Amino acid sequence: MDDEGEVRKRAHVTVDRADDGLLRLRLSGRWTLDARPSIVADVFEHALTTADTRVAVETDPQLEWDSGLLLFMRTVLAEAERRQMTVDLAGLPGGARRLLALASATPEYKEPHPEGAAPSLLTRIGSRTIAATRSGADVLAFIGEACVGLLRLLTGRARFQRSELLRVAQEVGAQALPIVSLITFLVGVILAYVGAMQLRAFGAQAYVADLVSVAMTREMGAMMTAIVMAGRTGAAFAAELGTMRVNEEIDALTTFGVSPMEFLVLPRMVALAVMMPFLCLYADLLGFLGGAAVGVGLLHLGGLEYYQRSVQAIALDDFAAGLIKASVFGVLLSIAGCLRGLRSGRSSGAVGAATTSAVVTGIVLIIVSDAVLTVLFDVVHF
C-alpha cells in the first residue's frame, strides 16, 4: 500500500476498571478501516466481567478515525445492550457521536415472519402443484388472448402497427439469412455424408439425393430454421419485451388502453408466421446444395443426375408439410418469446431468466409439435 515505509499506527485501546463497575475505554492511534480495529472488538468482549455496569469511552485528541471507529463502537454498543450496561459516548469525537446517533435514529426494520416452522412436504407439493396449474392456465390464457387478437386483426379491429410489423419482419427474415444459410448448408452436408456411408454398403450411393431432399423438405429445413430462430429471435423478443417491462413501458401502454397483445405480440407473431415458411424454403434449397456438394464432390455423382433424382424424390406435398410446420413453429416461437418477455420480473436478472426460459420453451415446443405434426401427417397420408 502507499504508506508502506512509515511505521503504521494501529488502533489501540486500554481498558481501566474502576471499583464502582465503571469500565473505561481509552482509544488512541489510528481507528481507520485499514488498521483493522474490528479485531480489537474481541478484546473488549473478553475484558468484560459481570461486575461491570457502565462503559465510558475516552479518545485521544489526535485520534484518526473513519468507519472503522464506528464499526468498533457498534460492537461495543451491541454488547453493552445485551448485558444491560449503559454507555457514555461523551468522549468520542463530535462527528463520530453524531453519526452513531444517526445510525440508531431509525429503529431496525423487522420483517414479519410467516407463521410456524418450515412448510411440510405435503404443503410444498401442494403449493408447487397449484403454482404449476396457475402457470399452465396463464399460458392458455395468453394463447387465448393471442387468438382473440388475431381474430380482431383479421376483422380489421386491432390497433396494429404496420411499421412495427415491417421492422420485425426484416429482423426475423432478411437479417437471419446468413446464419440460416450456414446452418442448413452444413446440415445438408452432414445428411449426405451420413447417408452415403450407410448406402455405400449396398452400392446405392445414388439414393443420397433422395435422402437429402426428402429429409430437408419434410423435416430438417423447418426444424433447423426454427431452432436457429429460437436462439436468435425468441431470445430477442423476450429480452426486448422484458426490458420494456422493467422500464414500465408496458404499463404505459396498458394505461393508455392499448393492449400489449395487439401492439407488441401480434406484429411479432404475424412476422414470424409469415417469414418462417420463406426461410424454410430457402433452408431447403441450401440443404439441397449442401447435399449436392457432397454428392458431386465426394461420391462422384453427376450434377444433373443428382438434380433429377432429387426432383423425382419429392412432391409438392413434401414441401407443403415442411412449410406448414415452419409456420406453426413461427407462431409457437413468438408465443414463447413474447409470453416470457411480458411475464418477466422487474430486474435485470429476471430479464436474463426470461430470455433463457424463452429459448428453452421455444425449443421444447418445436420438438414436441414436430413430433405431433409428423404423426398427424402420417395418419392422414399427407
Partner 1 sequence: MAATCEIPNGTRPRIEVRDLEMVYGARIIQRNLNLAVQAGDIFVIMGPSGSGKSTLLRHMIGLVPPARGDVFYDGASFWTADTNDRQRMLRRVGVLYQDGALWSSMTLAENVRLPLEQFTDLPPASIRGIASLKLALVGLAGFEDLYPSEVSGGMRKRAGLARAMALDPDILFFDEPSSGLDPINSRALDDLIVELRDSLGATVVMVTHELASIFAIATNSVFLDEKAKTITAAGPPWKLLHECRNSKVGRFLTRGEKT
Of 19, 109, 202, 378, the residue at the interface with partner 1 (CB under 8 A) is 109
Total residues interacting with partner 1, rule: CB under 8 A: 31
Residues 293-352 touching partner 1, rule: CB under 8 A, are 345-349
The least CB distance from residue 243 to partner 1, in Å, is: 12
How many whole angstroms separate alpha carbon 5 and alpha carbon 285? 74
The least CB distance from residue 36 to partner 1, in Å, is: 8
Kindly give, in sequence order, each residue whose CB lies less than 8 Å from that of residue 341, ignoring residues fewer than 6 positions away. 237, 238, 239, 240, 241, 242, 244, 245, 354, 358
**247 touching partner 1, by CB under 8 A:** no
- With H, G, I as helix, E, B as strand and everything else as coil, classify residue 63: coil
Grid coordinates belonging to 111: 420483517
**70 touching partner 1, by CB under 8 A:** yes
The CA distances from residue 163 to 156, 186, 237, 256, 263, in Å, are: 16, 35, 17, 20, 11
**64 touching partner 1, by CB under 8 A:** no
Q: How far apart are the first and last CA of the chain?
A: 77
Of 19, 111, 115, 378, the residue at the interface with partner 1 (CB under 8 A) is 111
How many whole angstroms separate alpha carbon 68 and alpha carbon 51? 28
Span interacting with partner 1, options 98-106, 132-140, 219-227, 288-296, rule CB under 8 A: 98-106
Which of 222, 186, 180, 188 lies closest to 306 in space, CA to CA?
188
The least CB distance from residue 65 to partner 1, in Å, is: 10
Grid coordinates belonging to 1: 500500500
Of 22, 56, 71, 363, the residue at the interface with partner 1 (CB under 8 A) is 71
How many whole angstroms separate alpha carbon 291 and alpha carbon 285? 10
Span interacting with partner 1, options 97-105, 114-122, 252-260, 273-281, rule CB under 8 A: 97-105
Span interacting with partner 1, options 67-75, 129-137, 143-151, 281-289, rule CB under 8 A: 67-75
Of the two residues 246 and 293, which places its CB atom closer to partner 1 in the complex? 246
Alpha carbon 127 to its chain centroid, in Å, reads: 24
Q: Which residues pair with 31 in a beta bridge?
A: 65
Of the two residues 96 and 323, which places its CB atom closer to partner 1 in the complex? 96
The least CB distance from residue 263 to partner 1, in Å, is: 25
How many whole angstroms separate alpha carbon 361 and alpha carbon 40? 55
**42 touching partner 1, by CB under 8 A:** no
Of 5, 20, 50, 105, the residue at the interface with partner 1 (CB under 8 A) is 105
**110 touching partner 1, by CB under 8 A:** yes
**66 touching partner 1, by CB under 8 A:** yes
Of 8, 81, 86, 95, the residue at the interface with partner 1 (CB under 8 A) is 95
Of 8, 83, 98, 167, the residue at the interface with partner 1 (CB under 8 A) is 98
- With H, G, I as helix, E, B as strand and everything else as coil, classify residue 64: strand
Can you give the C-alpha Rg of the chain in angstroms?
A: 36
- With H, G, I as helix, E, B as strand and everything else as coil, classify residue 52: coil
**106 touching partner 1, by CB under 8 A:** yes
Strands (E), the chain: 11-17, 22-31, 54-59, 64-65, 86-91
Q: Give residues in contact with partner 1 (CB under 8 A).
A: 33-34, 36, 38, 66-67, 70-71, 74-75, 94-96, 98-99, 102-111, 246, 345-349
